[in-house]
Homo-oligomer: A and B are copies of this chain.
Amino acid sequence: MARRALGPDRIEGMTYIGWPVPEPQIPAETDPVLAHATRAAVRAFADARKAHDRAALAEKVQMGADGTPTMRLDILVDTAVAESVTENKVNLLSEELGSIDNGSSVTLVVDPVDGTANAAAGVPLSAFAGVVAVDGVAKEALTCWLDTGRCWHAIAGQPTPYRTSGREKLDGAAVSVLRPHGFDENAWLAVARRAARVRILSSSCIEAALVAEGSTDAFADTGSDTHRIMDLAAAMVMLPAAGGAVLDVHGRPLEIDPDLSKRWSGVAAATRELAEELAETIANAIQK
């Protein structure tokens, strides 16, 4: 049976995601190695959705370098990224494949599919996020929303064309959060009760980009220590460049580290004041 060019589809009892995957709108000034890896990731993502139904995309096929099970979709995209960095002779630090040393001073820190659960199910909120790090210092970031091709680009120390909202207070803020995990329910509710708007989009990199462009005020892991460095690396470049801040709820330094067992509870906010108020609110509520 022919596939429809557009729209969700169902073939022989298997449910494919039929929506198109547009070309990423990568800004011309993007580092060519980062741009190459991004295009490779988007192509692999589009191919994976053509070749596999929802169940096959979400199937956990191996254990990732970060110690969590890896979905087929992640593997397919991460493999394409690894081929790209090897072709370009730079190193890779990635969620699933871990650290690949190609003998360069440059490392791409990559979340090939941020929001994998969204992407595999068909919820159109997932992103490629990549950072260029030189000798361990993040220099440049690119987040591309896979479902629309929208990209946010930033270079460390240079202002971005987009700016955060500038909000400094939690009361009345628009805050994106991870879902509550049971043990952090108190902290989750402490934030939700004070925020004017609460969202759970399930894509940390898109949520951080929305903070950077001023569409929401903050994004927080309310103390569940879910974030790995590739969930936060793009925000660590993008937020300061757009007027905001990124920090950890418990004050641990955010570092690009090949040890992928490390976790953080990241807070990305429109201002340092709001980031600190969120971190304090969460840390206090967790202690209770």
- A: which residues have CB within 8 A of B? 4, 6-10, 15, 17, 19, 25, 54, 117, 121-125, 147-148, 150, 161-163, 165, 174, 179-180, 182, 185, 189, 192-193, 197-202, 210, 213-216
Contact = CB atoms under 8 A, between A and B. Distances in A.
A148 B198 CA distance: 23
Closest 10 CB pairs of A and B: A122-B215, A8-B162, A179-B198, A8-B213, A200-B200, A123-B215, A199-B200, A121-B215, A15-B214, A10-B163
B214 A162 contact: no
Contacts of A202: 197, 199
Nearest to A117: B197
Contacts of A189: 180, 185
22 contacts: A6-B25, A8-B161, A8-B214, A8-B215, A9-B161, A15-B163, A17-B215, A19-B150, A117-B197, A122-B210, A122-B213, A122-B214, A122-B215, A124-B148, A124-B150, A148-B148, A179-B197, A180-B192, A182-B193, A199-B201, A199-B202, A201-B201
A36 to B, nearest CB: 21
A85 to B, nearest CB: 27
When all copies of this chain in the complex are counted, the total is 2
Contacts of A117: 174, 197
Contacts of A193: 182
A91 B15 CA distance: 38
Contacts of A147: 148
B10 A199 contact: no
Contacts of A10: 161-163
A189 B122 CA distance: 25
A10 B163 CA distance: 8
A54 B270 CA distance: 15
